[in-house]
Amino acid sequence: MTVHDKQDLLDCTKVIPPANVAIIMDGNGRWAQACGLPRVEGHRHGAKVVRDITEYCREVGVRNLYLYAFSQQNWDRPADEVQALMTLLEEYLWQEIPTMRENGIKLGVMGDKTLLPSNTLRALNQAMEATKHCREMNLVLAISYGARDELIRAAKKLAAEGTNPEHWTPAMLSGYLDTAPYGDPDLILRTGGELRLSNFLLWQASYAELFFTDTPWPSFRRTELESIFNDYQTRQRRYGQTPAQTAQLTERRVGRRKK
Ligand code: FPP
């Protein structure tokens, strides 16, 4: 281990991450164009950043990492870009299975899987099966995902239960969302300079802290995520309560996570 590795380890221990982090990985195409490269090169570089950021999140103790990899609306992109993204996802999954297993990362997926090409679906299913025993962190890829579609799917399942709609609660609907096994994001980050959620986790975003950076995803590095995590720790999440009430809650939360 080099001096730098040791320093990195020491620095890691200082970071108190949110438990659930969600990232909208935007700016791949513009980054590529600015470098005079085809758009798909932006996605290829973006996939390398996925590797590094996933690893960083696991190292610092994030429990659930949601990555918006392909939206339902992305199906409307030019066919060659859609094809390239599906191939990239597939390659990424096959390559990462050993590392995910080694690092205890369990793969999950959210979205409408019925639309996926069979090769991508096979890689996804294989990666989920191969990592189902992993316990360190859940990496949840949103693929062919749209929040409105997720809500409609959940509402249909709730209605099919046959319970009286008068008795429905937010928790009951949450229980049918794709995120049910993992929970709502504490922090949602969007790279690439745009200030919107683009149909990502709309219900679950209710109390999330939002962060936006101009950095395009292919240039995004763990040092920037570390500052975002540090900034997150300074925010007071009030959930509709008064500052005094929530100060107590925040103290308890930070105290618990430091132990
Ligand atoms: C948005 O950038 C990004 C996407 C539509 C795809 C994200 C995919 C990756 C980061 C790589 C593959 C993913 C994994 C999990 C291996 P954009 O193309 O809309 O960028 P632009 O706004 O600059 O055009």
Q: Which of 175, 171, 99, 174 is CA-nearest to residue 139? A: 99
Ligand 1 in reach of 192 Cβ (< 6 A): yes
- What is the total residue count of the chain? 259
**CATH top class, domain 20-235:** alpha beta
Do strands 209-212 and 64-71 pair parallel, antiparallel, or not at all (unpaired)? unpaired
Report the catalytic residues.
26, 74
Q: Are 153 and 111 in contact (CB under 8 A)?
A: no
CA dist 220 and 24 (Å) reads 12
Whose structure tokens read 């540090």?
A: 230
Q: Ligand 1, closest atom to CA 89? A: 16
pTM given for the model: 0.90
Q: Is 174 in the pocket of ligand 1 (CB under 6 A)?
A: no
Tell me the C-alpha distance between 241 and 57, whole Å: 30
What are 190's strand-pairing partners? 24, 212
From ligand 1's centre to the CA of 70, what distance in Å? 7
Specify the residue with its C-alpha closest to ligand 1, atom 6. 69
Tell me the per-residue pLDDT of 20-72, one tens digit each, with 9 for 90 and over.
Answer: 999 999 999 999 999 999 999 999 999 999 999 999 999 999 999 999 999 99
31 alpha carbon – ligand 1 mean position (Å): 10
Ranges of each domain in the chain = 20-235
Confidence of residue 142 (pLDDT cuts 50, 70, 90): very high
Q: Can you name the residues that pair with 145 across neighbouring β-strands?
A: 71
CA angle 148, 176, 124 (to 5 degrees): 80
Whether 181 and 66 have beta carbons less than 8 Å apart is answered as no
SS3 155: helix
CB of 66 within 6 A of ligand 1: the answer is no
Greater model confidence, 235 or 20: 20
- Tell whether ligand 1 has an atom less than 6 A from the beta carbon of residue 218: no
> pLDDT tens digits for 85-103?
999 999 999 999 999 999 9
Ligand 1 and 67: CB distance under 6 A: yes
